[in-house]
Amino acid sequence: MPNILLVEDNEVALRATAQILERSGYTVIMAPDGREGLEKLYKENVDLVVADILMPHYNGLEMLSKIRNGHFKKDIPVILMSALIEESAKISAFNLGADDFLQKPFSMQELRSRVASLLAKKAII
């Protein structure tokens, strides 16, 4: 069963997204901000990261940058998500190395599909 690190500062969104992933058969490790998310990433066995962009301490873009420029787990798949409408948020995410981007609000099926696709790619590589 793959482990997914879910990083989201909105408690309602965190619980709802975790529930979708858990019902899909994944183990979800939750963090309320980017700093705690990075700590859990390096301490836990994580197969994929799903993180919001707008968060305290380290936002999702800062967190992604630290993952991609680090020496440990820098190749882990990362999906960033945001309610920001500006295309620049999505472009910044991909420029920093995001594997995918979800525009909030997203459907349960879209989340499940993107997570499954990235985990399948990871298994092939």
What pLDDT is attached to residue 123?
Answer: 81
Q: What percentage of the chain carries pLDDT values higher than 90? A: 84
SS3 for the chain is CCEEEEECCCHHHHHHHHHHHHHCCCEEEEECCHHHHHHHHHHCCCCEEEEECCCCCCCHHHHHHHHHCCCCCCCCCEEEEECCCCHHHHHHHHHCCCCEEEECCCCHHHHHHHHHHHHHHHHHC
Give pTM, 2 decimals: 0.94
Reported as a pLDDT band with limits 50, 70 and 90, residue 48 is very high
Q: pLDDT tens-digit profile of 76-102?
A: 999 999 988 788 989 999 999 999 999
Q: What is the mean pLDDT of residues 24-43?
A: 97
Q: Which domains, from first to last, does the chain contain?
A: 3-124 (3.40.50.2300)
Q: What is the mean pLDDT of residues 98-123?
A: 94
What pLDDT is attached to residue 125?
Answer: 53
| Rounded (5°) CA angle 26-125-50 | 35
